[in-house]
Amino acid sequence: MSADEDRLRARLLEELLDELLRSRDIRKPRVFFVEGIPERKEERTFDVNEQVLRLSSELESLRSQFNRYMKIETREESASHFKQLVSKISEISEVYTQNTTDGIVFWIFYDKGDRIEVLEKIVDAECELERIFKGLNFEYKVLSQDSINPRIMSQVELLFKR
Amino acid sequence: MPVFAWHDRKKQHDFDTSQFLGSSSNTFVDWEVVTLFYSVLHYVDSYLSKAFKIDVVFDHSDRKQLVHFFLPILEKDYRLLYHLGTDARYEQVPMGQNELSKAKTVHAGIKNQLTPVTCINCGYTNLLNRGKCEKCGNIF
């Protein structure tokens, strides 16, 4: 994750926390300790503790939602970047993405050149992607446009409506 | 048995399997490639266990990450062999002498770099063979 994304994440979390504290008016009970009635003090302190615990738990839940959201955003951005990188390889004719339960799978078609050389170039793109978006791996299939099995082709047409 | 010792046995076993499959005919080129990949996988896991005490690698994706961080010089070769292995095992793609030859070259390169070398100058055991001793700089 880049420094910009880290800063954005930190700022959004800070704003989120401020908003949460403002909306719950957590400062209110403090007034009580100034003007409060001694015999009720213990009870109100308990309330505040409860409130803080509840807020912490809500914040944690929001933080995980936020992280999930950021991850999805980054994954989509990463997939789009990978598609761009692969599309630049001269031998590659078409690139399709398929969303599966395990994540995004790329179907990469090449129309010329040696399969291993094409694969090496795709691996280069994969390594470049890894440097930018750490930890986001994609599975891909590398298929020759000429020698593709008709049944696979019909599946591809069905999947991507070629 | 330490984790790395198991990987050390397995990497040799998988390589022997590959040799065995290729010894009589060209019938099992696909599985020769697959077993070469798994041999390399155990070279990597053995190194991670010895050098960084990483004894649990969750899956291929996790291992790719670890290779990226701890073995960047092998990253491209490792990923290429991973894809050759996956293609050989699952995909309907040609798997012939070119692919096998590439897999053997990549395997030999990774094996060479992940075979520990003891420096004759200082006696230090280099887990990663970079051509010179990490401790005293002696050229191998």
* DSSP 8-state symbol, B105: H
User: Do B92 and A149 lie within an 8 Å CB cutoff?
Assistant: yes
**A80-160 has CATH 3.10.620.30 classification:** no
Helices (H), A1-114: 3-24, 28-35, 38-87
Is the pLDDT at B97 greater than 80? The verdict is yes
Burial status of residue A31 (CB atoms within 10 A of its CB: 0-12, 13-18, 19 or more): exposed
A113/chain B closest Cα distance in angstroms: 13
B41: which residues sit within 8 A by CB, 6+ positions away?
Answer: B11, B63
Interface test with B, best of A104, A119, A147, A149 (most B CBs within 10 A): A119
Show residues of chain A in contact with B81, CB under 8 Å. Answer: none
pLDDT at A86: 94
A157/chain B closest Cα distance in angstroms: 17
Where are chain A's structural domains?
3-77, 80-160
Answer with the residue of higher pLDDT: A52 or B91.
B91
* DSSP 8-state symbol, B139: B
Do strands A103-110 and A92-100 pair parallel, antiparallel, or not at all (unpaired)?
Answer: antiparallel
The whole-angstrom separation of Cα B137 and Cα B140 is 9
Amino acid found at B77: D
The whole-angstrom separation of Cα A119 and Cα B109 is 18
Q: Is B64 on the interface with A (CB under 8 A)?
A: yes
| Nearest Cα to Cα of residue B127 among B117, B136, B137, B119 | B117
Answer with the residue of higher pLDDT: B86 or A76.
B86
User: Do A137 and B98 lie within an 8 Å CB cutoff?
Assistant: no
The whole-angstrom separation of Cα A27 and Cα A22 is 8
Half-sphere exposure of A61 (CA within 13 A, CB side): 7
The pLDDT-based confidence of A112 (bands split at 50, 70, 90) is confident
Here the ipTM equals: 0.88
Residue identified by tokens 């930890």 is A135
pLDDT at A72: 65
How big is chain A by its Cα radius of gyration, in Å? 26
Q: Is B88 on the interface with A (CB under 8 A)?
A: no
pTM score:
0.74
Is the pLDDT at A25 greater than 80? The verdict is no
pLDDT at A37: 55
Query: Among A36-50, B66-80, B113-127, where is mean pLDDT lowest?
Result: A36-50
pLDDT at A22: 61
Q: Is B76 on the interface with A (CB under 8 A)?
A: yes
A57/chain B closest Cα distance in angstroms: 29
The pLDDT-based confidence of B24 (bands split at 50, 70, 90) is confident
Determine the 3-state secondary structure of A5 from DSSP.
helix
User: Do A124 and B68 lie within an 8 Å CB cutoff?
Assistant: no
User: Do B102 and A116 lie within an 8 Å CB cutoff?
Assistant: yes
B26/chain A closest Cα distance in angstroms: 19
Query: Among A92-106, A134-148, B17-31, B75-89, where is mean pLDDT lowest?
Result: A134-148
Answer with the residue of higher pLDDT: A69 or A53.
A53
Helices (H), chain B: 3-24, 29-52, 60-70, 75-90, 97-113
Where are chain B's structural domains?
3-115
Is the pLDDT at B81 greater than 90? The verdict is yes
Question: Using one digit for the tens of pLDDT, what is the confidence trace for A73-98?
Answer: 678 888 898 999 999 999 999 999 88
**A91-126 b/e (C-beta count within 10 Å ≥ 16 → b):** bbeebbbeeeeeebebbbbbeeeebbebbbbbbebb
pLDDT at A2: 63
What CATH class does B3-115 carry?
Answer: mainly alpha
Do B24 and B38 form a contact (C-beta atoms < 8 A)?
no
Is the pLDDT at B48 greater than 70? The verdict is yes
Of A130, A147, A152, which has the smallest distance from its Cβ to B68's Cβ?
A130
Of A116, A127, A141, which has the smallest distance from its Cβ to B91's Cβ?
A141
The pLDDT-based confidence of A20 (bands split at 50, 70, 90) is low
pLDDT at A45: 67
pLDDT at A31: 46
**For residue A139, what are the β-bridge partners?**
A105
User: Do B65 and A116 lie within an 8 Å CB cutoff?
Assistant: no
Answer with the residue of higher pLDDT: A53 or B129.
B129
pLDDT at A157: 77
B119: which residues sit within 8 A by CB, 6+ positions away?
Answer: B125, B126, B133, B135, B136, B138, B140
The pLDDT-based confidence of B27 (bands split at 50, 70, 90) is confident
The whole-angstrom separation of Cα B138 and Cα B122 is 8
pLDDT at B127: 94
A69/chain B closest Cα distance in angstroms: 21
Answer with the residue of higher pLDDT: A76 or B6.
B6
